[in-house]
């Protein structure tokens, strides 16, 4: 019989292109903030989960172990969770395992990425994710593969680029109110459409930045949560799924992995109609089109309909289905693992009414956080409820 | 499975992972390396709650998770060899005089430094031997762990 699990604290650092702090120091700052917001100390913590993406970013192999004491893992049960870009939300899922299983009453889940170490640009680390005999000899760039997927998505549903550009406009605008954001900005659809073409149809303002940063949450058993706070946020559903690593063997216009992960989490949380029951969603948006693509996979709207809903304002902060009120990766920044956890933090703050100027109206009760990664075919999802 | 003992019998694709790195030294590291470069001294950060000093200095105490803001100089006296090895170089080549690697600890701090022992004969090295840090001349120091030549015997 599994225990109910709550999030009782959250914290994050600034997201910036290059921070002075080491990865350990970033981890410490986020972990410390999560502990303090949860009214706990490191001595109260039974176990620690560290989510951090490829070693090649920070430039140290076995970086999970390297970061451990900064995350509060010294002489504790400590586990690294790593599923590429999906790591941030997956670290929350791994924390959930620790508590739901009855193993821990209090588990600290910390995520970190220090992308600026990789020179001259973290793209060089991304080049090594491709198949070494089939793809790498062709010298692919990470942006190409997103461009191929985006073009297929636009073609399948006849999506105008203007509607996709609206995601960047919305998210960067929302991020103006996030105190940790790297690229909050007031921009227009024309700004996006006139920005540099990197790999058609991906343009500069369709892309999230590379960043340094860390984020953390504190997870508690029901008994411990009620001891620590009057306003726990329950982690009532978790899901994750992976699709084929072959580009040619998955449906590029539709993220099946997101659907699988979403349905798993909805089933656990007792959600039957996510488009009506989810009050606020943080959907993974490293590229503008991915927010839309993922909304559809997550059953927040029918296939091909997310761009139209965005154009109609439904996903605005005060719309019927607010998506990425934090500002998302496009606005807050994209330190890979920490970016996903930032989304979990945002839902925590939104459901507690602590999101300040980013707060969505009408006291949301149910939220979703989603991340996506591995070789672009993995999704992790959590459903949170106050 | 066939045994592969003639490379020309199978096809290879040669690849590499070409990345370079520029590591920030961090908040505590900035204090440590500036001090080492400018004065040749080794700094520790102190946790008043646990009454322990960390070398190299850290931003946080691993035990109580307090942020550490106070730094102090570690006296040259008090260093000793916790353990050592005599070794070939990194490529495994035999040297005329083997490298002597030590875990250098200090009576009054937590942690220590891994470095070389110089100006010592391998046959004279013992666990517990008293040693002291040897900074390079000031004009050769750049803010790196190599600003220390290493440790040398105290006498």
- Under the banding of pLDDT at 50, 70 and 90, the label for residue B2 is low
Residues on chain B touching A41 (C-beta within 8 angstroms): 64-65
- What would the pLDDT profile of B115-138 be if each residue is shown by its tens digit? 999 999 999 999 999 999 999 999
| DSSP-derived pairing of the beta strands A366-373 and A378-385 | antiparallel
Alpha helices in B20-112 (DSSP H): 26-39
- pLDDT at site B148: 97
Element (H, E) at B86: strand B79-87
C-alpha–C-alpha distance, residues A243 and B95, integer Å: 53
Fold classification of A5-120+209-385 (topology level): Peroxisomal Thiolase; Chain A, domain 1 (3.40.47)
Q: Partners of A323 in the beta sheet?
A: A281
Q: Do B24 and A21 touch (CB under 8 A)?
A: yes
B121, B129 in Cβ contact below 8 A? Answer: no
C-alpha–C-alpha distance, residues A151 and A149, integer Å: 5
Q: Do B60 and A25 touch (CB under 8 A)?
A: yes
Tokens 């070939």 identify what position? B88
- pLDDT at site A13: 98
Helix (H, G, I), strand (E, B) or coil at A56: helix
CA distance A29 to chain B (A): 9
- pLDDT at site A375: 78
C-alpha–C-alpha distance, residues A359 and A346, integer Å: 10
With a cut of 70, say whether residue B140 has pLDDT above it.
yes
DSSP A83: B
Q: Residue A73 to residues A24, A48, A321, A346, B65: CA-CA distances in angstroms?
A: 11, 6, 38, 24, 10
Strand ranges (DSSP E) for A168-211? 197-199, 202-203
- Asked if the C-beta of B10 comes within 8 angstroms of chain A's C-beta atoms, the answer is no
Q: Residue A198 to residues A193, A288, A294: CA-CA distances in angstroms?
A: 12, 14, 22
- Under the banding of pLDDT at 50, 70 and 90, the label for residue B8 is low
C-alpha–C-alpha distance, residues A229 and A218, integer Å: 12
Q: Nearest by CB to B21, which of A22, A118, A128?
A: A118
Q: Residue A354 to residues A10, A78, A218, A235, A351: CA-CA distances in angstroms?
A: 11, 30, 16, 18, 8
**Residue ranges of domains in chain B, CATH in brackets:** 22-153 (2.40.50.140)
A19, A211 in Cβ contact below 8 A? Answer: no
Residues on chain B touching A22 (C-beta within 8 angstroms): 23-27, 29
Residues on chain A touching B14 (C-beta within 8 angstroms): none
Residue A115's φ and ψ, nearest 5 degrees, are -75, -20
Element (H, E) at A9: strand A5-12
- Under the banding of pLDDT at 50, 70 and 90, the label for residue B26 is very high
Helix (H, G, I), strand (E, B) or coil at A207: strand
C-alpha–C-alpha distance, residues A213 and A17, integer Å: 9
- What would the pLDDT profile of B56-90 be if each residue is shown by its tens digit? 999 999 999 999 999 999 999 999 999 999 888 88
Q: Per CB distance under 8 Å, which residues of A are interface residues toward B?
A: 18-22, 24-25, 28, 31-32, 35, 41-43, 56, 59, 69-70, 72, 74, 114, 116-120, 124-125, 127-128, 132-133, 136-137
pLDDT average, residue stretch B84-106? 90
Tokens 């540099």 identify what position? A196
pLDDT (tens place) for every residue of chain A, 386 residues total: 478 999 999 999 999 999 999 999 999 999 999 999 999 999 999 999 999 998 988 899 999 999 999 999 999 999 999 999 999 999 999 999 999 999 999 999 999 999 999 988 888 888 888 888 888 888 888 888 899 999 999 999 999 999 999 999 999 999 999 999 999 999 999 999 999 999 999 999 999 999 999 999 999 999 999 999 999 999 999 999 999 988 888 899 999 999 999 999 999 999 999 999 999 999 999 999 999 999 999 999 999 999 999 999 999 999 999 999 999 999 999 999 999 999 999 999 999 999 999 999 999 999 999 999 977 899 999 999 99
Residues on chain A touching B60 (C-beta within 8 angstroms): 25, 28, 32, 69-70
DSSP track, B72-125 = EEEPSTTEEEEEEEEE--TT----SS-EEEEEEEETTSEE-EEEEB-SS-GGG-
Tokens matching residue A92: 């929350």
C-alpha–C-alpha distance, residues B40 and A113, integer Å: 32
Q: Nearest by CB to B13, which of A18, A43, A132?
A: A132
Give chain A's radius of gyration (CA, Å): 19
DSSP track, A215-226 = EEEEEEEHHHHH
C-alpha–C-alpha distance, residues A343 and A174, integer Å: 13
A178, A317 in Cβ contact below 8 A? Answer: no
- pLDDT at site A142: 84
Tokens 């370079």 identify what position? B20
- pLDDT at site B15: 80
- The pTM of the full predicted model, rounded to 2 decimals, is 0.94
Cα torsion A347, A348, A350, A351 to 10°: value is 110
Q: Calculate what percentage of chain B has a pLDDT beyond 70.
A: 92
Among B12, B16, B18, B23, the strongest candidate for a mutation testing the A interface, having the largest count of A CBs within 10 A, is: B23
- pLDDT at site A263: 98
DSSP A74: T
- pLDDT at site B69: 97
C-alpha–C-alpha distance, residues A9 and A233, integer Å: 9
- What would the pLDDT profile of A104-159 be if each residue is shown by its tens digit? 999 999 999 999 999 888 888 888 888 888 888 888 888 888 999 999 999 999 99
Q: Measuring CA to CA, which residue among B47, B98, B99, B41 is closest to residue B75?
A: B41
């Amino acid at each position: 019989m599994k225990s109910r699990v709550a999030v009782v604290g959250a914290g994050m650092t600034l997201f910036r292109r290059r921070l002075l702090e080491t990865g350990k120091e970033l981890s410490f700052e986020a972990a410390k903030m999560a502990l303090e917001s949860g009214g706990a100390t490191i001595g109260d913590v039974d176990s620690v989960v560290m989510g951090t993406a490829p070693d090649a970013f920070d430039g140290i192999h076995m970086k999970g172990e390297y970061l451990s004491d900064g995350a509060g893992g010294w002489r504790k049960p400590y586990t690294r969770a790593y599923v590429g870009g999906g790591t941030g939300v997956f670290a929350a899922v791994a924390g959930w395992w620790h508590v739901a299983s009855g193993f821990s009453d209090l588990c600290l889940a910390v995520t970190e990425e220090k992308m600026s170490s990789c020179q001259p640009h973290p793209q060089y680390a991304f080049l090594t994710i491709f198949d070494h005999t089939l793809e790498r000899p062709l010298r692919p760039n990470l942006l190409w593969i997103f461009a191929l997927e985006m073009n297929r998505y636009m073609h399948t549903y006849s999506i105008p680029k203007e509607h996709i550009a609206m995601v960047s406009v919305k998210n960067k605008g929302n991020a103006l109110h996030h105190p940790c954001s790297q690229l909050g900005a007031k921009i227009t659809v024309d700004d996006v459409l006139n920005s540099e073409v990197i790999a058609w149809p991906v343009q500069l303002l369709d892309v999230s930045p590379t960043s340094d940063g860390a984020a953390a949450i504190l997870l508690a058993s029901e008994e411990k949560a009620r001891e620590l706070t009057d306003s726990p946020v329950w982690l009532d559903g978790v899901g994750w799924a992976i699709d084929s690593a072959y580009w040619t063997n998955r449906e590029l216009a539709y993220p099946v992995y997101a659907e699988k992960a979403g349905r798993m989490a909805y089933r656990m949380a007792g959600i039957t109609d996510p488009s009506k029951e989810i009050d606020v969603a943080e959907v993974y948006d490293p590229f503008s089109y991915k927010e839309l693509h993922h909304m559809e996979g997550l059953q927040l709207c029918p296939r091909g309909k997310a761009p139209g809903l965005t154009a109609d304002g439904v996903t605005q902060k005060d719309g019927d289905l607010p998506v990425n009120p934090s500002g998302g990766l496009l606005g807050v920044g994209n330190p890979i693992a920490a970016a996903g956890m930032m989304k979990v933090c945002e839902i925590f703050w939104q459901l507690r009414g602590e999101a300040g100027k980013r707060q969505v109206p009408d006291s949301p009760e149910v939220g979703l956080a989603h991340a996506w990664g591995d070789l672009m075919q993995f999704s992790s999802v959590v459903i949170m409820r106050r | 499975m066939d045994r592969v003992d003639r490379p020309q019998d199978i096809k290879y694709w040669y690849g590499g992972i070409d990345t370079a790195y520029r590591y920030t030294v961090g908040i505590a590291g900035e204090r440590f390396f500036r001090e080492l470069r400018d004065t040749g001294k080794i700094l520790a950060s102190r946790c008043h709650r646990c009454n322990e000093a960390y070398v190299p200095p850290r931003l946080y105490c691993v035990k109580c998770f307090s942020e550490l803001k106070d730094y102090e100089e570690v006296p040259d006296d008090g260093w000793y060899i916790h353990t050592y090895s005599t070794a070939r170089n990194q490529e495994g080549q035999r040297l005329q005089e083997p490298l002597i690697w030590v875990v250098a600890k200090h009576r009054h701090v937590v942690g220590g430094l891994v470095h070389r022992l110089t100006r010592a004969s391998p046959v004279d090295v013992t666990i517990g031997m008293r040693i002291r840090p040897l900074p390079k001349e000031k004009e050769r120091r750049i803010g790196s762990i190599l600003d220390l030549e290493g440790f040398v015997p105290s006498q």
